A and B are shown apart, each in its own frame.
Chain A
Amino acid sequence: ETGVTQTPRHLVMGMTNKKSLKCEQHLGHNAMYWYKQSAKKPLELMFVYNFKEQTENNSVPSRFSPECPNSSHLFLHLHTLQPEDSALYLCASSQDRTAMNTEAFFGQGTRLTVV
């Protein structure tokens, strides 16, 4: 148990569906991150929020829409996805973006399959 909880753990969705991934942490952290890990590939940083403000969007397609209503919760809204979007989506949190001397905590991930 890392203190970062992701739901659901597994998700199968059609290309026309709309779904959301949820991430929650109660570690008192102010930075939260979404990563994508496709099969046999390194983790790709998608979005970064620091004190609820989005500070990074790594050229992610608009069919992925993040939301950070407060420092404890992070969502990834999904719509009209493609089969190549099937991957493990990981959420992480850290004290804040300037805290290089502290560790980040990751959730277990959501395994997404787009059919």
Chain B
Amino acid sequence: DAKTTQPNSMESNEEEPVHLPCNHSTISGTDYIHWYRQLPSQGPEYVIHGLTSNVNNRMASLAIAEDRKSSTLILHRATLRDAAVYYCILMEVWGDMRFGAGTRLTVKP
């Protein structure tokens, strides 16, 4: 299985941007980069995904490095509700979602 590396934890101030990094140096050309987050006492929820180009949606932006060996999830204005564990996952052909430890994001008021 392809692997990802994320910092264990990060802190942010409310209403400031947050950049959550993910390294995936062994990514193959057909792997998609997915991000999910898990709020306390809930199941994970989808945030965003991409293949090569940067992606934007109502929740976040995904910036993918040109060599695809790293990516960054960008929350443009963090709110208290964004406090969660964020998971970066590589989706392979016939692969299944396998979660690492993720990054625990703390948002300070």
Answer yes or no: A39 CB below 8 A from chain B CBs: no
| Interfacial residues of chain B within 87-105, with CB under 8 A of chain A in the complex | 91-102
Residue from B34, B43, B98, B102 in contact with A106 in the complex, judged by beta carbons closer than 8 Å: B43
Q: Chain A 86-107 against B: per-residue CB contact (8 Å), 1 yes, 0 no?
A: 0000101010011011011111
Alpha-carbon separation in the docked complex, A101 to B43 (Å): 20
Residues of A within 8 A of B91 (CB): 100
B44 contacts the other chain (CB 8 A): yes
User: Which residues of chain A have C-beta atoms less than 8 A from B68's C-beta?
Assistant: none
Q: Is B16 interfacial (CB-CB < 8 Å)?
A: no
Q: Is the CB of B43 within 8 A of A2?
A: yes
B100 near A97: Cβ-Cβ < 8 Å: no
Whether A103 touches B34, Cβ cut-off 8 Å, given contacts A45-B96, A98-B93, is yes
User: Total interface residues on B, using CB and 8 Å?
Assistant: 24
Residues of chain B within 8 A of A100, CB atoms compared:
30-32, 91-93, 95
Contacting residues, chain A, for B46 (C-beta < 8 A): 103-105
Interchain CA distance A4-B42 in the complex, whole Å: 12
What distance in Å separates the Cβ of A17 from its nearest Cβ neighbour in chain B? 24
- 25 pairs from A and B in contact (CB 8 Å cutoff): A2-B45, A33-B96, A33-B97, A42-B99, A42-B100, A43-B99, A45-B98, A48-B96, A56-B96, A90-B44, A97-B94, A97-B96, A98-B94, A100-B30, A100-B31, A100-B93, A100-B95, A101-B32, A101-B49, A103-B34, A103-B49, A104-B36, A105-B46, A106-B43, A108-B43
Instruction: Please list the residues of chain A having a beta carbon within 8 angstroms of any beta carbon in chain B.
Output: 2, 4, 33, 35, 42-43, 45, 48, 56, 90, 92, 94, 97-98, 100-101, 103-109
